[in-house]
Amino acid sequence: MGNYSKNLTKEQHLEMYEQMELARHFDLQLSKLFARGLVHGMTHYSVGEEAANIGAIYPLRKTDLMYSNHRGHAQTISKGIEIDRMMAEILGKATGQCKGRGGSMHVYSIENGNMGCNGIVGGGHGLSTGAALAQKMKKTDNIVVCCMGDGATNEGSFHECLNMASIWNLPLIFLVINNQYGISMAQKDCMKVEKITERAAAYRIKGIHVEDGNDVLAVYDAMNEAIEDARTGKGPVLVEVMTYRWFGHSASDPGAYRTREEVEEWKKKDPIEAYRKVLTKKKIATVAELDAIREKSIKEIEDAIEFAKNSPFSETHVAFEDNYAD
């Protein structure tokens, strides 16, 4: 364990583990609902990326702000949200946070500092830069995390915002969950750099690369280092976490661009199983305790689905509301 994870309490370990199980089963169950035609809209699963997402978001304070992307369910669960309402939102129901207007790519929880997932690749770059500028101007000690995938680092706004955050020394972490494919295009085909953190040098900001992003504690340690820098005025940090999505880009992706062998290899590196091994080997928790948390998580997701299914759809006037503030 690293400098930060060595200080985690049992309770914190189990909380992170629980979030990973919740994220896993949220998406697994959602994929079944999608297959049954209950999800009207796109949805992007992060099954296989739980360590990368939870390890990175868990260390944030509630008052820190997070801007997520289209693959934001796990990050959202970690930052804090009412899961039953989140499921309702994705199923388009009135009890969802956005009353069904948002769907999967727009889950959020303002009270927990989740400023929203985002359907535009790179859409959060500018927003998070401005949010970080606002924290600095208002002299809060909150930091901002801008979550993205590897593909988003080829957007122009990525480079504009890294530069801007650098010159203004903003309390901002650019978090790249690198699952190695931008929909179908492999990272090696769309950029010459081997590590995305190499790009940090161009803006003279710190880059932290996590080679095993399926090791939740490695991610946790890296992110804490970045958080400490950002919170203590040392400026922005680019964090890259290597991982892999087990499913296609979206629910409608047959995955022709990856071999079955490659996917199977990564499934062997299951981040949840890896964490269970650490927790039992270090005698932090027993298998029975972990199994109980898994069962509880599955039950919570099933309850969320029941809640969502039993919720009504919004009245149609909702489609026309909240375009403008008074």
Partner 1 sequence: MEKKVMTVREAIKQAMTDEMRIDETVFLIGEDVGIFGGDFGTTVGMLEEFGKERIIDTPISEAAIAGAAAGAASCGLRPIVDMTFMDFVTIAMDAIVNEAAPMRYMLGGEVSVPVVYRCASGAGTGAAAQHCKALESWFCHIPGLKVVAPGTPNDIYGMLRSAIRDNNPVIYIEPKALFGRKGEVVLGEDNIIPIGVGEIKKEGKDVTLVTWGRMLERGLQAAEELEKEGISVEVVDPRTLVPLDEKLIVESVKKTGRLVIAHDSFKTGGFGGEIASRIAESEAFDYLDAPIYRVAGADTNIPSAKNLEEVVVPNVEDIKNTIRKAINKN
Kindly tell me which of 170 and 241 has the beta carbon lying closer to partner 1.
170
State phi, psi for 140 to the nearest 5 degrees: -85, 170
Examine residue 316 and tell whether it contacts partner 1 (CB under 8 A): no
CB of 201 to partner 1, least distance (A): 18
The sheet carrying 65-67 orders its strands as 65-67, 144-149, 172-178, 237-242, 206-210
Q: Which helix (H) or strand (E) holds 42?
A: none
Q: Which of residues 68-97 bind partner 1 (CB under 8 A)?
A: 97
Among residues 59, 72, 92, 102, which is the contact residue for partner 1, using CB under 8 A?
102
Q: How much is the CA Rg of the chain, to the nearest whole Å?
A: 19
Encoded one letter per residue, x for contact with partner 1 by CB under 8 A and - for no contact, window 129-168 reads: xxxxxxx-xx-----------------xx--xx-xx--x-
Is residue 115 within the footprint of partner 1 (CB under 8 A)? Answer: yes
Nearest residue (CB) to partner 1, 157 versus 214: 157
Choose between 11 and 326: whose C-beta lies nearer to partner 1. 326
Cβ nearer to partner 1, comparing 95 with 214: 95
Closest contact distance (angstroms) between CB of 247 and partner 1 is 24
Q: Is 231 exposed, middle or buried (0-12, 13-18, 19+ CB in 10 A)?
A: middle
Question: 38-67 mask for partner 1 (x: CB under 8 A)?
Answer: ---------------------------x-x
For residues 293-317, one letter each, b for 16 or more C-beta atoms within 10 angstroms of the residue's C-beta and e for the rest, the string is bbeebbebbeebbebbeebeebeee
Nearer to partner 1, 48 or 235 (CB): 235
Least separation, in Å, of the C-beta of 159 and partner 1? 8
Write out the H or E segment, with its range, that includes residue 65. Answer: strand 65-67
* Site membership for partner 1, residue 125 (CB under 8 A): yes
Selection from 248, 179, 237 nearest residue 213 by Cα: 179
Produce one character per residue of 167-201: b if its CB has 16 or more CB atoms within 10 Å, e if not: eeebbbbbbbbbbbbbeeeebeeebeeebbbebbe
The yes or no reply on residue 255 touching partner 1 (CB under 8 A) is no
Number of residues this chain uses to bind partner 1 (CB under 8 A) = 43
Q: Which is nearer to partner 1, 165 or 176 (CB)?
A: 165
Q: How far is the CB of 199 from partner 1 (least distance, A)?
A: 15
Tell me the DSSP string of 123-160: HHHHHHHHHHHHHHHTT----EEEEEEGGGGGSHHHHH
* 325 part of the interface to partner 1, by CB under 8 A: yes
Q: What angle do CA 222, 226, 230 make, to 5 degrees?
A: 170
| CA–CA distances in Å: residue 121 to residues 148, 163, 164, 192 | 8, 18, 19, 20
Residue with smaller CB distance to partner 1, 155 or 212 = 155
- Is residue 231 within the footprint of partner 1 (CB under 8 A)? no
Residue 287 within binding range of partner 1, rule CB under 8 A? no
Interface contacts to partner 1, rule CB under 8 A = 65, 67, 97-99, 101-102, 106, 108, 110, 115-116, 118-120, 122-123, 125-135, 137-138, 156-157, 160-161, 163-164, 167, 321-326
